[in-house]
Amino acid sequence: MTPIRPPTRHENKGIKEEIENLEPITASTHTPVYMMHKFWARRPWKVFKTLIERFTSEGDIILDPFAGGGVTLVEGLIARRKVIAVDLNPLAAKIMRHEVATLDVAEFISALESIKKKVGETLDKLYAVRCPICNRCGVAEWAEYDRESNEALTVQFKCPEGHRGRKRPEPGDLPTSPKMDLTRRVKIPAGDKTSDLLGNGYQYFDELFTTRNLVAVQYLREAIKCCETSESVKSFLSFTLSSTLKWASKMSHRRGEIIEGWAMHAYWIYPKYLEINVWHQFLRRADAIIRGKEYTNKHINGYAVEGESFEELRNGEATYMILNTDARELPIPDGGIDAVITDPPYGGNVNYAELSDYFLWWDSELSPKDREIVINRTRGFTLEDYGKGLEMVFMECHRVLKEDGLFISTFNSKDLRVVAAFLSALKISGFNYIGVSYQPYLKGYETTFHAMQVNALPFDFIFFLQKSNSRETKRKMPEVSSNTLREVRSALAREMERCVENELTEKDYRLRTYPVMISAITSLEPSLAELLANYYEELIQRNKDYFSRIRSKVVEARRSSKKNS
């Protein structure tokens, strides 16, 4: 793919056409590197890969101020760009470090073998169950419990003869775990995503685990600590254990035949929860780590060299930096960055800091909460605070971006007020809107928890901006604005009538009106944009009864067509 050199201000026509012609990027499922450890709402890698290849050149320095699960970092290094990945969240930084670090896979495998020898048998005993077919001692793959009584209802067993199946636990199965003194107990902090749990009497993170699983995690931690291997392999073993935690707590459950680890964007224990065999899951996760590292060893290989300063990146051998810091203040000189490519937090859709504590409490500080850019009722962070936070980060991006550099951001929120806050923050920071591309979700993505539960639309926006001559923008805007506002409002009302006539859903309405709303919002001055976004959400709110009626009708129709087929 030939990269397009970002145009100078006078050449914007070229880039505009390029954005309009940006074909839908058929996003495919995560590559093995992103399957190593959970992070929330990772964006499709192929979208980032395409943006990097099309809009930057080899050797360019790309900044991602909200780097999260590391998609810009990994795809940037694969494409031989230099990347500065910034994230406030320590878990994000840890995941990114392991995504790009080289691993000696053979050494990792032999360290795993030594752990197997050391604690494998002890761990198997923790999950012992009698095989009802041959009477030999087998192990539980998982057991399902009743939340109220904490009684095991069903156990999935496996035995050395190769028998597998389910049974009701009997005396002697799942023996009482050895007593264990927790060296560390950490209180669950109050938050939007922890409130259900706290309301139900849970106070400490360890209460999210059965004693057996806590003991298993503890044994593995000790075994890793004592393992005679290199620091790098040790770090990857700990990373494997961290990755295992997704399945280790009572937040796991069974969805039909599917065994699910923690998949919600909140803390929650189902009425029937699972105790998944931590040891076996650890071994499965080790395989996932090996696949991930074989992938990056092949595609990034020796190209990933961590730098300690911007100068090392610009003039030295270094190709990346991971900064675990607030993106409002970056150790980067003015104009040092060739392009910003990012995916900011979407309002209050995902509360990364609260969620990542689940992985952090074991051996480090909890995530810092007061600088996170998010909407959060418990912390009193409003839409306005969110917009202000973004504005400060975008101002910093503006400072470090070279004169003609591109600012590219994906975004996805169903709430237009959040989109307006994001776009206004960009405008106030001195960026000029060039264009937007709508990228459909990959099939299958629509059914992910993120897309179903949170306020997501079935496509991502990709916004393109450049530094603007703000004086000119200010002078031009107001007179265009009020007219635009009036026109858009009546167009919205007309579209709503059409919607009702044709029995369209709220999603249809949003899909039909978003393009026009986005272009209106980008051309309005921020206070009017906010007004329009409020008007839009209120209009939908006023038609709430209609939309919920239509929704029930659609659901009903789908159900009966399923029955008939």
Ligand X SMILES: C[S@@+](CC[C@H](N)C(=O)[O-])C[C@H]1O[C@@H](n2cnc3c(N)ncnc32)[C@H](O)[C@@H]1O
Amino acid at 10: H
Asked if 167 touches Zn ion (CB under 5 A), the answer is no
Q: Which stretch binds ligand X (CB under 6 A): 52-60, 147-155, 278-286, 323-331?
A: 323-331
Nearer to ligand X, 95 or 517 (CB): 95
Cβ of residue 167: shortest distance to Zn ion, in angstroms? 11
Asked if 131 touches Zn ion (CB under 5 A), the answer is yes
Cβ of residue 129: shortest distance to Zn ion, in angstroms? 10
Cβ of residue 384: shortest distance to ligand X, in angstroms? 16
Nearer to ligand X, 68 or 138 (CB): 68
Phi (first) and psi of residue 3, to 5 degrees: -70, 145
DSSP string over 184-205: ---BPPP-TTTHHHHHTT--BG
The single residue listed with the structure tokens 């106030």 is: 428
252: left (phi over 0), alpha (psi -120 to 50) or beta: beta
Asked if 139 touches Zn ion (CB under 5 A), the answer is no
Asked if 343 touches ligand X (CB under 6 A), the answer is yes
Q: How many residues bind ligand X (CB under 6 A)?
A: 24
Q: Compose the 429-448 pattern: x for residues touching Zn ion by CB under 5 A, - for all others.
A: --------------------
Nearer to ligand X, 73 or 129 (CB): 73
Asked if 88 touches ligand X (CB under 6 A), the answer is yes
Partner from Zn ion, ligand X, none contacting 43, C-beta within 5 to 8 A by type: ligand X
Residues 300-319, interacting with Zn ion (CB under 5 A): none
Find the helix or strand (DSSP H, E) in which 164 lies. strand 164-167
How far is the CA of 150 from the CAs of 86, 169, 209, 306, 495, in angstroms?
Answer: 42, 13, 12, 48, 53
Cβ of residue 333: shortest distance to ligand X, in angstroms? 19
Asked if 43 touches ligand X (CB under 6 A), the answer is yes
Q: Site for ligand X (CB under 6 A): which residue of 25, 83, 86, 533?
A: 86
CB 144 within 8 A of CB 272: yes
Cβ of residue 106: shortest distance to Zn ion, in angstroms? 34
Nearer to ligand X, 122 or 325 (CB): 325
Cα-based torsion angle of the residue sequence 130, 135, 137, 138 in order, rounded to the nearest 10 degrees: -70
Asked if 387 touches ligand X (CB under 6 A), the answer is no
C-alpha–C-alpha distance, residues 457 and 413, integer Å = 7
Asked if 133 touches Zn ion (CB under 5 A), the answer is yes
Asked if 41 touches ligand X (CB under 6 A), the answer is yes
Nearer to ligand X, 30 or 507 (CB): 30
Q: Which stretch binds ligand X (CB under 6 A): 264-272, 300-308, 339-347, 396-404?
A: 339-347
Q: Which stretch binds ligand X (CB under 6 A): 37-45, 259-267, 304-312, 313-321?
A: 37-45
Cβ of residue 122: shortest distance to Zn ion, in angstroms? 21
Asked if 69 touches ligand X (CB under 6 A), the answer is yes
CB 501 within 8 A of CB 457: no
Partner from ligand X, Zn ion, none contacting 134, C-beta within 5 to 8 A by type: Zn ion
Note the helical H segments in 200-272.
211-226, 231-248
- Please give the radius of gyration of the chain, using alpha carbons only, rounded to the nearest integer: 26
Asked if 345 touches ligand X (CB under 6 A), the answer is yes
C-alpha–C-alpha distance, residues 156 and 165, integer Å = 6
Q: Site for ligand X (CB under 6 A): which residue of 15, 50, 66, 140?
A: 66
C-alpha–C-alpha distance, residues 8 and 238, integer Å = 47
Q: Site for Zn ion (CB under 5 A): which residue of 109, 134, 153, 182?
A: 134
Strands (E), 319-458: 320-323, 337-342, 401-411, 431-440
C-alpha–C-alpha distance, residues 198 and 559, integer Å = 37
C-alpha–C-alpha distance, residues 255 and 128, integer Å = 24
- CA quadruple 227, 233, 234, 236: dihedral sign: negative
Q: Which stretch binds Zn ion (CB under 5 A): 59-67, 129-137, 284-292, 547-555?
A: 129-137
Partner from ligand X, Zn ion, none contacting 161, C-beta within 5 to 8 A by type: Zn ion
C-alpha–C-alpha distance, residues 454 and 231, integer Å = 39
Asked if 371 touches ligand X (CB under 6 A), the answer is yes
The single residue listed with the structure tokens 């099939």 is: 443
* Token duo for residue 249: 């707590």
Residue among 158, 109, 442 at smallest CA distance from 289: 109
Q: Site for Zn ion (CB under 5 A): which residue of 159, 233, 496, 532?
A: 159
Q: How many residues bind Zn ion (CB under 5 A)?
A: 6
Cβ of residue 513: shortest distance to ligand X, in angstroms? 24
Asked if 89 touches ligand X (CB under 6 A), the answer is yes
C-alpha–C-alpha distance, residues 316 and 557, integer Å = 63
Phi (first) and psi of residue 264, to 5 degrees: -75, 160
C-alpha–C-alpha distance, residues 12 and 434, integer Å = 8
Residues found near Zn ion in the complex (CB under 5 A): 131, 133-134, 159, 161, 163
Residues found near ligand X in the complex (CB under 6 A): 39, 41-43, 65-66, 68-69, 71, 86-89, 92, 326-328, 343-345, 352, 371-373
